[in-house]
Structure 1
Amino acid sequence: MSYADQVFISMCEDILENGTSTEGEKVRPHWPDGESAYTIKQFGVVNRYDLSKEFPALTLRKTYIKSAIDELLWIWQKKSNNVNDLKSHIWDEWADEDGSIGKAYGYQMGVKHQYKEGMMDQVDRVIYDLKHNPYSRRIMTNIYVHQDLHEMNLYPCAYSVTFNVTKKPGHDKLTLNAILNQRSQDILAANNWNVVQYAALVYMMAQVCDMEPGELVHVIADAHIYDRHIPIIKEMIKRETYPAPKVTLNPEVKDFYEFTTDDFKIEDYQAGEQIKDIPIAI
């Protein structure tokens, strides 16, 4: 069993046993057939993953790690808000006729801000601080920009990352840790997808800043299981599990903007049967 499996099973059991239902309440999400999409939810879920021990991929079912990383690079590297720059089609429901999702996600990452060191966007500021001021407690990004919310086709779910650097006794390199803050998460569709994305981000940032990966802490304000996902989740968490896959980076890449999904090597990834046609609330 991977550690990600342990976390996922425990979280799902807690939501199912102790969560609260939104059934009958006024909710925004709906199913493609027009029915309201209700949830069982848990407030304030915090999951920790030690990236120095293993890559946090589920084995209960396969997570398409490279597709998840492609979306992460779409936001953090390409700084794009156009689905035509993305290999998968997960954003198509929220794109306009030109492929834009509005001033969301990658758009916000690409906005330059004035600092005393000059004009930089949020990604470049993170890299600059990790290299020049690693012990700063101000190394963070935030894409939940209130003044632009009315021009976003979907408000950001994972909206903020805070990086924190520590020095482990006996280690030559500094350790890079991160907290991912998420206002809302569809546990079945997106939980491990987001976890592997930001684990990969820590891997990449650590490598280009000559550090080693440490902890990823995932904070979810509203962790929910949709009503039509409940039987799927109940079946899934009873499945056989396997050891975590080994995920390594191409050590030659030293520039964050040169990474591609091909620079991730995934070995020994054994997982349960994929769950097809998961209904997605919109």
Structure 2
Amino acid sequence: MPRHPEFQYLDLIQDVLETGDRRIDRTGVGTLSKFGAVMRFDLSDGTLPIYTTKRVFWKTAVKEMIWFLTGQTNIQSLLRENVKIWTDWPLDAYRKATGDPISQEAFEARILQDDAFALQWGDLGPVYGKQWRRWVDAKGEEHDQIAGVIEMLKRDPSSRRMLFHAWNVGDLDQMALHPCHMTYQFHVRQPKEGTDNQGTLSLLVGQRSCDLGLGNPFNVCQQAALVHMIAQQVDMTPGELIWVGGDVHVYLNHIDMAQTLLSREPRPFPKLHFTRRPSSIDDYRIEDFEVMGYDPHPAIDAPVAV
């Protein structure tokens, strides 16, 4: 029987715990770190690789991906979807700038209720979605990288140039957080004779920095969801998600969580079914995602390093 694909994740955690370099990082929390990792997930039978050794709040992860695809950069629209994973950075900036020890709940409520406050304090700068959908070149022209990839998948699926990325050097100093998952490159395996689909779509994601405890479970889930979305839009079958990590690390205050994960046995990954075919990549809603058979171990709380 094939080994459960989640063991790739657990083996990586084990390796980092046993042989990782102890480092002081940007956040000051400290990590155990290794450089270079690869994981591969087969999506061809409708699998959505949501890890099972702890509950992953997959709707939050997918909502974040849908938000990236809108090109928005303000947390107000995320908070309207009850997604709070980006609040820490603007909240920290607000507290430092004003000296106001406002609670997260009060800050989020004010962002939701006060558009002017949200405009001033809720924007994250030109992060992922801005670069994906509205990259500005030296001439001041905007480029929609997502639309470009989808157009090329339809027109020239054998191209080696079907990619988008977010590492816009000129904009980095304006971002609340530098892009972690940076490069998304697509590949199409040609269709078999006698089939109706246009080929098999795979995605390789290059991630320069990866928090294994909190970030990676979200990243893998949402990146696989993106493959399923784009495959649906271009009439292809999902293939593989290949995830490549640079600095992969476990925060020192996540070691207990990591050890709990390692003590648990993975369960079968769920399957994804779309309840409809949206008119474009811009038209997906969380209600379009029906995830079947997700039966994880209990969630594990852990702090975010800002």
The TM-score, its normalising length taken from structure 2, stands at 0.82
From the two aligned structures, give the one with the greater helix fraction: 2
- The corresponding residue for 2:253 is 228
* Letter of the 2:49 counterpart: P
Q: Is the 8 A contact 1:37 1:226 kept in 2?
A: yes
Structure-1 separation of matches of 2:273 and 2:15: 32
- CA, structure 1 residues 206+109, in 2 after alignment: closer, same or farther (shift >3 Å)? same
Measured after TM superposition, the shift of residue 172 of structure 1 is 4.1
- Paired residue for 1:51, among 43, 47, 53? 43
Structure 2 residue 154 is the aligned partner of structure 1 residue 131: yes
Tell me the equivalent position of 1:84: 76
The corresponding residue for 1:66 is: 59
1:160 to 183, 204, 214: 183
Find runs of 4+ consecutive structure 1 residues off by over 6 angstroms. Answer: none
Distance 1:260 1:28, change over 3 A: same
SS in 1 for 2:126: coil
Partner of 1:6: 7
Match for residue 262 of structure 1 among 262, 284, 287: 287
Cα drift, residue 279 of structure 1: 1.3
Pair 215,13 (structure 1): closer, same or farther in 2 beyond 3 Å: same
Aligned residues of 2:187 and 2:203 also touching (Cα < 8 A):
yes
- Name the counterpart of 1:281: 305
The one-letter amino acid of 1:41's match is S
- Structure 1 contact 3–56 (Cα < 8 Å) conserved: no
Specify the code of the residue in structure 2 equivalent to 1:83: I
TM-fit CA distance, 1:239: 1.5
The amino acid across from 2:88 in the alignment is E
> Equivalences for 1:71-220 in 2 at 5 Å?
71-76=64-69, 78-86=70-78, 87=81, 88-95=83-90, 97-111=120-134, 120-167=143-190, 169=192, 171-173=195-197, 174-220=199-245
- Per the alignment, residue 26 of structure 2 pairs with 28
Deviation at 1:220, TM superposition (A): 0.7
Q: Residue 259 of structure 2: SS of its match in structure 1?
A: helix
Cα 1:3–1:259, aligned 2, differ >3 Å: closer, same or farther?
A: farther
Q: CA deviation at 1:244?
A: 1.3
- The alignment partner of 1:280 has SS state of coil
Q: Which stretch shows the higher mean deviation, 232-241 or 41-50?
A: 232-241
Q: Deviations over 1:127-173 (max 9, x none)?
A: 11111111111011011100111111110111110011112545542
Q: Which amino acid aligns with 1:228?
A: N
Query: How far has the Cα of 1:219 moved from its partner?
Result: 0.7
Cα distance between partner residues in 1 of 2:153 and 2:250: 36
CA distance in 2 between counterparts of 1:160 and 1:250 reads 29
Q: Name the stretch that deviates more: 95-104 or 212-221.
A: 95-104
Aligned with 1:185: secondary structure?
A: strand
- Structure 2 unmatched runs, 5+: 94-119
Q: Which runs of 5+ in 1 are unaligned?
A: 30-35
Distance in 2 of aligned mates of 1:186 and 1:46: 15
Shift in Å at residue 250 of structure 1?
2.5
Worse-matched range after superposition: 8-17 or 250-259? 250-259
Cα deviation, residue 2, structure 1:
8.6
Query: Do the aligned residues in 2 keep the contact of 1:2 with 1:57 (CA within 8 Å)?
Result: no
Question: Relative to structure 1, is the Cα distance of residues 2 and 251 closer, same or farther in structure 2, using a 3 angstrom cutoff?
Answer: farther
Q: Aligned equivalents of 1:147 and 1:112: distance in 2? A: 11
Q: TM-score under structure 1 normalisation? A: 0.89
Contact conserved, 2:208 with 2:245, CA < 8 A, in 1?
yes
The alpha carbon displacement at 1:257 in A equals: 1.4
Identity of aligned residues (%): 33
Residue type matched to 1:90 in 2?
I
Paired residue secondary structure (2:121):
coil
Letter in 2 for 1:28: R
C-alpha separation in 2, matches of 1:2 and 1:80? 39
Letter in 2 for 1:85: S
